[in-house]
Structure 1
């Protein structure tokens, strides 16, 4: 897992040495932040009514038990929303910023030996595939979000182990999204990408968990997105080494 964290560090270091590329990569993330920030703020204001609607059976309970249940339920609902948002934030940002991050990934690869040629396909075909993959990811994230929401009601484990597992799971899918730019350029589709990532699970989980943790820091998903894309590009370059001759080992 340490190797995965190192890739993230390399990516952050790369954009730190190229501040103009960092600013360049902030634009799509800022736009997505406005969208998801607005949705989560709305949820925060509505959470009380939502939880009350979800737990009508507790209306006749003693006030202490009722309020405890609804507090735990509110935390679980908001936590599930954060989990889904963490995954969808990256997916939506990559769709909005496809030209930005494609250019950033190419510059990263050119700085360490050269990027493979762009696939010979229409732009809209690649965009449509990205949207389809994002919808599949969204459905998967929602399913996991419901599972973690249910598990969060387990005493102690639901408030300690479950959040950690959720972070690791989200990190795995985050890595799949972020490495998609470089792997798509190598004409690797979603199933092939995740098969490759599965074969290098410790590295992938190290990168994804560290990235997910940074994204949970206020404004972290915006500030660290360019570095995450750069780090994922470097990692994808190495992981694809056996599959393409255009992915030499990063020093």
Structure 2
């Protein structure tokens, strides 16, 4: 019971970092307004793709089922309708991850400006530039990870009976983990922390990380929320990275020291 209360407390603490990030609008409105642009671009691109898919999904279903041309009309129609629904469902699931991934990739220079301002305001650390090739490599890993998460969510959604509910829960959790992990990359890398060390640090604060990521994803459900939340999420992720490092340092400090040999 005590462990459950601690997990809930950590989830709420992580979620609270998102609305706290909105407070940065008062102090750096210019940087925050620019930070909305990547989400606008990503959303527009995804909307165009979805509209094109919706207009051509029947033709696509026919193109991938040429073997059904000789079937009875009813059987052929049922098969292609089901396939069209599966394609649309996969596309909708994919948009969750595609939007996050595109926004992060497009927004890298915009979000760096917000991150630097947040670090300066929080104090105690002078940001250093992140090397281009390291950032480029992280971008490739982000794309691959997003594709994997989208595939997992889509496959879970195909489970009869419980698939739709399970994927509806799993999608925001995985997408939240993705965005929390990627938005904390820059504050960790600027401190010389490797990818393996970042993963270990975030595992030690998993509930707080998920609370932050899921809260960010929930804003996506509000019309226009995805555009408004991304700059605030960058600020929140900076605070999240600092809290994770502070916890790790406190745990090291509290660890029992080995007794020196007599």
The TM-score bracket by the shorter chain reads: 0.7 to 0.9
1:5-27 CA-partner distances (Å, limit 9, x unpaired)? 01112112322554333213223
- Per the alignment, residue 46 of structure 1 pairs with 56
Moved more, 156-165 or 84-93: 84-93
The 1-side partners of 2:128 and 2:188 are apart by 11
After superposition, the Cα gap between the structure-2 partners of 1:47 and 1:194, relative to the gap in structure 1 and judged at 3 Å, is farther
Distance in 1 (CA, whole Å) between partners of 2:240 and 2:85 is: 39
Note the C-alpha offset of 1:165: 0.5
Q: Write out aligned runs for 1:1-251 (5 A).
A: 1-16=11-26, 18-55=28-65, 60=71, 62=74, 65-66=78-79, 69-95=82-108, 98=109, 100-118=110-128, 126-241=131-246
Tell me the CA shift for residue 57 of structure 1.
6.0
The answer on whether the counterparts of 1:171 and 1:207 sit within 8 Å (CA) in structure 2 is yes
- Give the alignment's TM-score, normalised by structure 2: 0.78
SS class of match (2:246): coil
- Judge conservation of contact 2:46–2:95 (CA < 8 Å) in 1: no
Asked if the contact 2:17–2:236 (Cα under 8 Å) also holds between the matched residues in 1, the reply is: yes
The verdict on how the C-alpha distance between 1:79 and 1:19 changes in structure 2, with shifts beyond 3 A counting, is same
Give the conservation status (yes or no) of the 8 Å contact 1:29–1:221: yes
* Structure 1 spans left out of the alignment, 5+ residues: 245-251
Q: For the residues of structure 1 that align with 2:116 and 2:47, how far apart are their CA atoms?
A: 30
- Could you say what the CA RMSD is over the residues aligned between the two structures, in angstroms? 2.7
CA contact (8 A) 2:187 2:238 kept: yes
Question: What is the rounded CA distance, in whole Å, between the counterparts of 1:192 and 1:40 in structure 2?
Answer: 38
